[in-house]
Structure 1
Amino acid sequence: MLALLLGATAPVSAAEVRLLTSIKPLQLIAAAVQEGIGQPEVLLPPGASPHHYALRPSDVRRTREADLVYWIGPDLEGFLPRVLQGRSGPTLAVQALPGLHLRHFGEGHAGAAHAEPAQAADASGATAADEHDHDHRPGTLDAHLWLAPANARVIAARMASDLATLDPANAARYQANRQAFDARLTGLDARLQERLGGVAARPYFVFHQAYDYFEAAYGLEHRGVFSVAAEVQPGARHVAEMRARLQQTGASCVFSEPPLRPRLADTLTAGLPVRLAELDAMGGPIEVSASGYEQLLERLGNDLAGCLDALPVPAQ
């Protein structure tokens, strides 16, 4: 784990501070903190998966030239540790921040049906998280931590502190931006609680177990997870078991992720009272701005509720 050591880093002017994040959700949080002072950059292009991205030479140069680099950590971006070792500037894996509420796969959702792709082990049998695209085994860290508003507050506070250290002339502005971000999150939280409270009992399934932080914040719980690798088709028996679970549930929503809907979705739901929809945890179409992070969460909540609203009200 790489630590962020700013004490030995000389302050730079505001125009020179280059903040780079690995993924767009972190970029959106940084944009709120840097509002009116700078524009954060992001490493992964739109639509790229943080689980198995192939860095280009230009990406490596950007990671080495940035003044600050923020990434989630080896539990999400397993391709980054070796590249970041070549940096001389401050780098932070935000999953190591004190004060974060971290979840591990297997917490809650006891009734969820899982379809896990097989993972190859090395000669010793090891399946370390940083050696695989993405590890959803019970007990491993759920790295989608940005979907908890409380975690976003912690990340923004650290970014404001780090930026103030590098750019003391704008320290007050960074802190004011961070406080404004906190205030907006308070309002957003109230809106989402109201929007999602009425649909919490309605059943839904997800293809990727990426939303547990958001669900825990707003009293939601998926009925099942179909986390099948895109390149691996499950056997006929397994598809039949998943389809039987959907049949037993009745009217429900099944959420996949953009940009492509898995072909398995159509196989599983054909002829069933199931609505297909998408949830985007990465904020793909959202403009990078001071309010971008709130838009990501609000869009996620509205997309969830929009599908669930159309389902019959569960019998009491």
Structure 2
Amino acid sequence: MLHKNTLLCAALGAALTGGVALNADAAVVASLKPVGFIAAAIADGVTDTEVLLPDGASEHDYALRPSDVKRLQGADLVVWIGPEMEAFMEKAVVHIPEQKQIALAELPAVKPLLMKGAHDDEHEHHDGEDEEEHHHHGEYNMHIWLSPEIAKASAVAIHDKLVELMPQRRAKLDANLKEFEAELARTDEQVGRVLAPLKGKGYFVFHDAYGYYEKHFGLSSLGHFTVNPEIQPGAQRLHEIRTQLVQHKAECVFAEPQFRPAVVEAVARGTQVRMGTLDPLGTAIGVSKASYMQFLTQLSNQYASCLKGD
């Protein structure tokens, strides 16, 4: 009896200090909201999905809090993109067993689908070495959640890993993956129909995030204000964009909810160009099994409402 009590006390102590042992149903912890959207569709009815990055924060400069580290350590599965996107997670994931994490950009099914990143404003980073290091964007565009193909490959990887970790829930996980793939195909077609009439219309985006989505749906951005939203675009870049706006090459300039659009407004002022907002993180969307489809659809509506001039 004493032995049992000792064990119970030890378990309670661990629970109170670590906060982890108490939570028998640990969750899938996703780094960013759209990654959570994909994970939630697969984990639906099996385990909860939580997102680390709070709404309104930027993945480019977030710092983990002690509570975040605790959540990572207690997770069933951690899903992130990789150190080039979430530098804030690099140190924490070292302590998480390999079999309990997925870095999506490293997946064999995803690697061949990666697009090269843009480097056209690298010369504006000369504020000091630390700045350079801190904002290093690698060779590839890491906003991979904006690619329906990569989302599908990610869903398969999350499914396979959860089946490995929870073999007894295989039937539900299989059903979830099947439903996700069917819904994705349907949404892809629907979004394609909304965006088809907008092909060939010119616009500028705030930062270099949308390449996968644009390539998939045949949209043609004229460029972006900045590669990294934490770095203000330089005067020369703004002058180039302004010149194109004055010459009526673009119909729209898009800001983002996380970043003040003052610079976008200043450039568009006095031209006929419309202003829109694109949300690459789906900040207003709750995490549920349908949220990735809502996310793709919301983006298409954001493009359409500005480019159509509604």
Give 1:106 deviation, angstroms: 4.5
1:65 aligns to what? 74
Percent of aligned positions with the same letter in both sequences?
37
The structure showing larger relative contact order (alpha-carbon pairs under 8 Å, at least 6 residues apart) is: 1
Counterpart of 2:206 in structure 1: which amino acid? F
1:261 aligns to what? 260
1:141 aligns to what? 140
| Residue segments in structure 1 that go unaligned for 5+ positions in a row | 1-14, 108-113, 312-316
Q: Quick check: 1:17–1:166 contact (8 Å CA) kept in 2?
A: no
SS at match of 1:226: strand
Q: Distance in 2 between matches of 1:106 and 1:234?
A: 16
| Structure with higher helix content | 2
SS at match of 1:225: strand
1:217 aligns to what? 216
How large is the Cα RMSD of the aligned pairs? 2.4
2:107 aligns to what? 97
1:4 aligns to what? none
Q: Distance in 2 between matches of 1:160 and 1:26?
A: 13
Q: Distance in 2 between matches of 1:187 and 1:30?
A: 19
1:198 aligns to what? 197
1:23 aligns to what? 32
CA 293–184 in structure 1, closer or farther in 2 if over 3 Å, else same: same
Q: Distance in 2 between matches of 1:229 and 1:34?
A: 32
TM value normalised by structure 1: 0.83
1:289 aligns to what? 288
Q: How many residues align?
A: 283
1:183 aligns to what? 182
Q: Quick check: 1:32–1:181 contact (8 Å CA) kept in 2?
A: yes
Deviation by residue 1:23-77 (Cα, 9 ceiling, x = unmatched):
0111111110112222211111111111110111111111111121111001101
Q: Distance in 2 between matches of 1:164 and 1:177?
A: 12
1:118 aligns to what? 125
CA 184–134 in structure 1, closer or farther in 2 if over 3 Å, else same: farther
Larger radius of gyration: 2
CA 44–229 in structure 1, closer or farther in 2 if over 3 Å, else same: closer
Deviation by residue 1:68-121 (Cα, 9 ceiling, x = unmatched):
1111001101121111112246222110011121111249xxxxxx55531567
1:308 aligns to what? 307
Q: Quick check: 2:256–2:277 contact (8 Å CA) kept in 1?
A: yes
1:36 paired residue among 45, 48, 53: 45
Q: Quick check: 1:47–1:259 contact (8 Å CA) kept in 2?
A: yes
Counterpart of 2:31 in structure 1: which amino acid? S
Runs of 4+ in 1 over 3 A off after TM superposition: 114-117, 119-123, 228-233
Give 1:251 deviation, angstroms: 5.2
Q: Quick check: 1:257–1:278 contact (8 Å CA) kept in 2?
A: yes
CA 261–147 in structure 1, closer or farther in 2 if over 3 Å, else same: same
Give 1:254 deviation, angstroms: 0.3
